[in-house]
Amino acid sequence: MTYYQQLVTNAEAAMSRHPRSTIVMDAQSFEIISSGCDAGQVARDAETAVNQGRTPVVMQKPRHPENWVLAQR
């Protein structure tokens, strides 16, 4: 399984567990760093992860079927 297949599989599982929350996942370990509906807290947790040298991936389950675009900054 390729990295992106693993990322998408883990992202889908995380979004199923937290269907209405914004989720921050570590791009290497696929660990959920933060989840919740408070965008400010989720953003702070993502920034903390960056400061620790981690690469956060921010996602939210779409309310309607959509395509995903994965980007790295």
pLDDT at position 20, please? 85
pLDDT at position 60, please? 86
Taking only the tens of pLDDT, the chain with its 73 residues reads 898 899 889 988 988 888 888 999 999 999 999 999 888 999 999 999 999 999 999 988 877 776 767 776 6
Domain ranges of the chain: 3-60
Alpha-carbon distances, residue 70 vs 1, 41, 58 (angstroms):
17, 22, 10
CA distance 70 to 73: 10
